[in-house]
Amino acid sequence: MKKTDFLVILIVVAVLLPFFRFDGVYKGYTDFNAAYPLVLAFLKFAVLATFGEMLGLRIKTGKYNAPSYGLLPRLVVWGLFGVWIAIAMGVFSKGIPAYLDRFTLFNGVKDAMGGGFTGLKLLGAFCISVMMNTAFAPVFMTLHKVTDTHIISNGGKFSSLFKPIPIGSILGKLNWQVQWGFVFKKTLPLFWIPAHTLTFILPQEFQVLFAAFCSIILGLILAIAAIMGEKK
């Protein structure tokens, strides 16, 4: 491990420790989350998802940052994605149980999602996760790859946020063997569906936070995908 690795660990501990040591910090978080959920979703994903990508960069290059990486534009993009994800989670977590509740097999699932852990709640959480990861996740992951490529192609400059994104050109050059064969085909059923099943079992106030923590894993997955793409 390098000195920077120890520094990163110390920063992570310093940020997380107050939530476990001081009740006021935790209460402040829950109160702010209840009042401004989308603002906090922006901050959660901006910080945690970007940190996940930095870990991925560390695995790939040995460094947490690079001139063309574009730390600031990635923070902004991840924050905006965080708002989008939080809204999607709200839509799927409310809509899927309400729809399933119409069928005898799933009768009571809507009420079960608001209570303690039961088999019916597990079934509901699994259904929400499957729908979200088959309908929403592929679009999100592809768009994320597009924005990443755009930021890198502009040298990681903050001005990349204000330049038109050549979506068609980027999609045409995307390594779909890796995007489909690894990112979609393997990570969605083997990691994301189980992870988001657990997410939707949790109390609502922790769901977006847990999803943001999962985005740290996403950064590592994308780093592996990038390495695989370079080997093709």
**Residue 206, pLDDT score:** 83
Tokens, residue 37 = 């959920």
**Residue 146, pLDDT score:** 96
Tell whether 84 and 119 lie within a shared domain: yes
Contact between residue 89 and residue 133 where contact means Cβ atoms under 8 Å apart? no
Contact between residue 46 and residue 78 where contact means Cβ atoms under 8 Å apart? yes
Least Cα distance to 50 among 17, 14, 89, 77 occurs for 77
Least Cα distance to 227 among 168, 183, 173 occurs for 183
Tell whether 111 and 70 lie within a shared domain: yes
pLDDT in tens, 149-192: 999 999 999 999 999 999 999 999 998 988 898 889 988 999 89
Number of domains in the chain: 2
Tell whether 101 and 5 lie within a shared domain: no
Tell whether 51 and 19 lie within a shared domain: no
**Domain, as residue range, for 212:** 37-231
**Residue 227, pLDDT score:** 66
Tell whether 90 and 162 lie within a shared domain: yes
Below-50 pLDDT ranges, the chain: none
**Residue 222, pLDDT score:** 67
Contact between residue 156 and residue 69 where contact means Cβ atoms under 8 Å apart? yes
Tell whether 11 and 88 lie within a shared domain: no
**Residue 39, pLDDT score:** 95
CA atoms within 13 A on the CB side of 136: 20
Tell whether 54 and 160 lie within a shared domain: yes
Tell whether 44 and 125 lie within a shared domain: yes
**Residue 226, pLDDT score:** 67
CA distance 188 to 26: 32
Tell whether 172 and 72 lie within a shared domain: yes
Tell whether 16 and 112 lie within a shared domain: no
